[in-house]
Amino acid sequence: MRSKLVAGNWKMHGDRAAIGELLTALKAELPSEPSVDIAVFPSSVYINDAIKVLKGSPVAVGAQNVCEYAGEGAYTGEVSAAMLADVGCRYVIAGHSERRALYGESDALVVTKVKRALDVGLTPVLCVGESESEREAGQTLEVVARQLNALWDQLSVADLGSLIVAYEPVWAIGTGKTATPEQAQQVHAFIRSVFAEKDANLSNEMRILYGGSVKAANAAELFSQADIDGGLVGGASLNAQEFSAICRAAE
């Protein structure tokens, strides 16, 4: 049985005071023993604050990005996977569409980041998804397949143990336009079938999250689909009550 995961991607939002309030409110709002996994992804400078406040709570902390180079070195401005693991992160997002679009991250670079995370025991959340024009051109599955196929150049099935995939249609991110449960389920089932071609166990056990304008009002219906194992939540995760309601919808 795959356990669900609800992950809050806080992007580049908040300041120390606002993040502190959000963390305190989350601790108060969320069940102390939830039946689903919950994680938040603050900006890297606030990761330490989040880990301290959430210590002893069931909420794990992740990073929104990681350096593609291993070990230490002269990589000004970067944060390594080992550093993230060292301070107590459990997850790291790789290949969010904003990083692909704004920072030119290629499929190959994203997979290198997935590999760096796996190498140090972090759980990577690999984001895939098509743009609006790609969907309109009927290329959704082709785009998602290309993004996933990049995995096999650098990783084997055995390497992928803890991988989580997040299907995030770019046209649904931050737009209020959620994919319908049927649209999302179709792509999630396709993603699972791509992994099934490599390994049935991996495919059955791998968690596939949906992301793109998830809110309390649509979460339960999305999460009830057979291949949707939770959500990667942006805007709605900045409100403790809304995010808690989404977590409860996953329970």
Which residues have a catalytic role annotated? 96, 168
Which residues from 2-21 bind ligand PGA, rule CB under 6 A?
Answer: 9
Candidates 138, 137, 184; CA nearest to 165 is: 184
CB of 173 to ligand PGA, least distance (A): 4
Rg over alpha carbons for the chain, rounded to the nearest Å, is: 17
CB of 211 to ligand PGA, least distance (A): 4
Give the distance, in angstroms, between the CA of residue 165 and the centroid of all CA atoms in the same chain. 7
CB of 122 to ligand PGA, least distance (A): 18
Residue 65 binds ligand PGA (CB under 6 A): no
Which residues from 123-182 bind ligand PGA, rule CB under 6 A?
Answer: 168, 173-174
CB of 17 to ligand PGA, least distance (A): 22
Which of 37, 234, 246, 250 forms a contact with ligand PGA (CB under 6 A)? 234
CB of 45 to ligand PGA, least distance (A): 19
Q: How far apart are CA 9 and CA 235, in angstroms?
A: 8
Residue nearest to ligand PGA (CB): 234
- Would you call 112 helix, strand, or coil by DSSP? helix
Candidates 139, 83, 149; CA nearest to 110 is: 149
Residue 62 binds ligand PGA (CB under 6 A): no
Q: In terms of CB distance, is 128 or 173 closer to ligand PGA?
A: 173
Q: Is residue 6 within 8 Å of residue 247, measured between CB atoms?
A: yes
CA distances from 250 to 19, 161, 183, 185, 233 (A): 24, 23, 19, 15, 12
Q: How many CB atoms lie within 10 A of CB 78?
A: 13
Q: How far apart are CA 34 and CA 101, in angstroms?
A: 35
Q: In terms of CB distance, is 167 or 199 closer to ligand PGA?
A: 167
Which residues from 180-219 bind ligand PGA, rule CB under 6 A?
Answer: 211-214
Size of the site for ligand PGA (CB under 6 A): 13
Q: In terms of CB distance, is 146 or 177 closer to ligand PGA?
A: 177
Residue 235 binds ligand PGA (CB under 6 A): yes
- Would you call 71 helix, strand, or coil by DSSP? coil
Sites of contact with ligand PGA (CB under 6 A): 9, 168, 173-174, 211-214, 232-236
